[in-house]
Amino acid sequence: MSIRNLEPKSLWNHFADLNAVPRPSKKEERVRAFAVNFGKSLGLETLEDAIGNVIIKKNATPGMENRQTVVLQSHLDMVHQKNSDTIFDFDSQGIEMIVDGDWVKANGTTLGADNGIGVAAIMAILSSKEIVHPAIEVMFTIDEETGMTGAIKIDPSNFTGTILLNLDTEDDDELSIGCAGGIDTNTSYSYKEISVKENSISYEISVRGLLGGHSGMDIHRGRGNANKLLNRICYQGISLFPIQISSFDGGSLRNAIPREAKGIVSISKDDKMAFEKFISDKAESLKFEYKSIENELNIEFKVIETAKKCLSDQDSMKILNVLYAVPNGVFRMSPDIEDLVETSSSLARVILKDGSFVTQSLQRSSVDSTKDDVANTVRASFENMGCAVVQNGDYPGWQPNTDSAILRLMAKMYREKFKEEPKIKACHAGLECGILGSHFPNMDMISFGPNIRAAHSPDEKVQISSVQKFWSYLLDVLKEIPSKN
């Protein structure tokens, strides 16, 4: 079945149109032009602010003029990630979508349902002549996935709305009223390469097949981090063999749990049989350790052309030690909100080659003081081995407001419509609401959306029936927006 035949057709057709446009973070020129042309084609007031956010405004439908103005908000960019064996050019190709039962997914790449379904829903409302709604101000932000630049540099003077509906939550039974803030930690270290010893044999060791996922929403699920697993192999191996390390390349995106990593090491030819047995045994041990979570974990090794250069023994130990020591995963659970990860860190990217060792990690927390604590812990680990450390991209969390008027309304409507209690939650992801709240301190905000699974990974998928549930609920909410004071 074609995605364009799914219901609601307007939403899915807009999603298909959107996914035909390459839209990586920090390269949003084409999708910004797409959004501007869309708004103008409808004869709606459309503009771009100085940073590149797209704003579209639509008047209230007849009889809704006295209701509060609603800001509908989603981000235009998406995470671009693919499987290592998938041939795909994100800069020139549109996403190849597949309908699989009750789910839509992509062919070996991320799908862009995060946050494309939200964008498509807003487009469907803007293009409709039948949907009942109050005055609408659309806020299509840029660069959410790699720094939230659009939200940080939004121009508040373009908006008068008093209620903001963020359509970027990934469970259809949740109403999100809080989120984590975050900070990036980037490190660098230069080393002098030395020659690989004579009588050596070189191997490429690879870790692949991990689930990966969103380093906020999925950090508590115990999934393997490819950087950490490859480092464990090298760390234990170097205690048994005189291993010489030539390279390490793991992860891809700052906000995704690393699914793959590979490294090149050399050993004495005399240790060949013992080393290969060690790798095989270690692979089996790690597969057993993760058997209930990572069914596709695959650890492979192969002999390659003998490397010429490598790290010194001293630099090898420095780097293996810091990669082992640096925190990764849940740092602290919230003492106030049940089952909420308060603070975490994800070692997202490791690159070691040609005399340069760099890492990227992302620390998140809904409490600024513990965000600082985990960020300092990571900083101290790397500075202790002599790395230069730069921390930037700091953005605030969104403090929950359980007395929110829009929360009370939407929770009541959810109970009446679906005959169950919604889950009123804060999430560990970085929603733009935290930043937008600093620009619009009097705006009542809430976030919701359909079921999206494995965001930020090539396994990303969105549930068709859940999109229908979300859509129906969104339209009902627009009808019930309260009157102006």
Provide the sign of the torsion angle of the four alpha carbons 81, 86, 91, 93, taken in this order. Answer: negative
* Residue 218 exposed, middle or buried by CB count within 10 Å (0-12, 13-18, 19+): buried
Residue at 483: amino acid letter? S
Residues recorded for the chain: 485
Q: To which residue do tokens 């997914």 refer?
A: 105
φ/ψ of 167, rounded to 5, equals: -105, 55
Alpha-carbon distances, residue 151 vs 239, 394, 396 (angstroms): 48, 12, 11
Helical H segments across 339-432, by residue range: 368-384, 405-418
Bridge-based pairing of strands 54-58 and 136-141 is antiparallel
The pLDDT score that the predictor gives to residue 401 is 87
How far apart CA 394 and CA 187 sit, in angstroms, is 16
The pLDDT score that the predictor gives to residue 395 is 87
Give pLDDT < 50 ranges for the chain: none
Q: Give the global pTM.
A: 0.77
Q: To which residue do tokens 């992302």 refer?
A: 362
How far apart CA 200 and CA 184 sit, in angstroms, is 39
Q: To which residue do tokens 């733009």 refer?
A: 432
User: Could you give the residue numbers annotated as active site?
Assistant: 77, 144
How far apart CA 440 and CA 435 sit, in angstroms, is 9
Q: To which residue do tokens 């908000």 refer?
A: 73
How far apart CA 295 and CA 226 sit, in angstroms, is 14
φ/ψ of 358, rounded to 5, equals: -130, 150
Residue at 39: amino acid letter? G
What domains, with CATH codes, occur in the chain? Answer: 3-179+397-479 (3.40.630.10), 183-395 (3.30.70.360)
The pLDDT score that the predictor gives to residue 154 is 97
Q: E strands along 209-328, which residues?
A: 244-250, 261-268, 298-304, 309-310
Helical H segments across 128-214, by residue range: 149-152
What would the two tokens of residue 382 be? 């790397």
* Cis-peptide into 258, omega within 30 deg: no
